[in-house]
Amino acid sequence: MRDQIEAVLDAVRPTLLADGGNVELVDVSEDGVVSVKLVGACSSCPMATVTLKMGIERALMEKLPAVKEVIQVA
């Protein structure tokens, strides 16, 4: 599943990179919780929560039904 998650993140990355940010996959739990780290401009952006939930989480959940939640870790 990790490779599938990376593939979806690769599809989201160009948008993040255009704004000077990026996302790194940290962990995938057995219960479908994906931990990511927002880096670059995304790490300090006031819209980071929206990007995480409405962008990254939505994309992952649409493509991979086993993903239940996406959380940000430091």
Which class would CATH give 2-72? Answer: alpha beta
Domain limits, the chain: 2-72
40: left (phi over 0), alpha (psi -120 to 50) or beta: left
d(CA 16, CA 1): 22
d(CA 47, CA 23): 14
pTM for this predicted structure: 0.92
Q: pLDDT of 26-44, one tens digit each?
A: 999 999 999 999 999 998 9
d(CA 34, CA 44): 20
Q: Give the residues of the chain that fall short of pLDDT 70.
A: none
Task: Report the pLDDT value the prediction gives residue 56, as an integer from 0 to 100.
Answer: 97
Task: Report the pLDDT value the prediction gives residue 74, as an integer from 0 to 100.
Answer: 84
